[in-house]
Structure 1
Amino acid sequence: MTVRSTGVGGLFTATRVPDGDDPAWLTTAGIVVDSLLFTAAAVATVRLVGHLDRRRRASRGA
């Protein structure tokens, strides 16, 4: 199952061109947004793991 953020494009214009395909700008924007969200989730995960690791090390030293 693929979740796509391209549904937001329907707020601005039709999400289908006459031949039934997605507009190129909407496909490109969806790829960029999906990549940014994935990268943000990865960065948040790394920061959370680092924070939890520092907390664990601090509690062992006390």
Structure 2
Amino acid sequence: MKQIAALTLLTLTALLAACQPEVGSDAWCKKMADKPSGDWTANEAADYTKYCIFKASKD
């Protein structure tokens, strides 16, 4: 029974992750820009800086 619950949870997690825009894509940058910066994780802040700010300055 525990294996079924774990498999179900893993499947749901994978499905939800598949719905998220790819990190660094224009959709992801827009999503992050709309999200309050206080709710960002450290990894999200670093990725936003790398892919959205520095990418925009190179264009």
Q: Given the two structures, how large is their TM-score scaled by the length of structure 1?
A: 0.35
Q: Given the two structures, how large is their TM-score scaled by the length of structure 2?
A: 0.37
Q: Bigger radius of gyration, 1 or 2?
A: 1
If asked which structure has higher relative contact order (CA below 8 Å, sep 6+), I would say 2
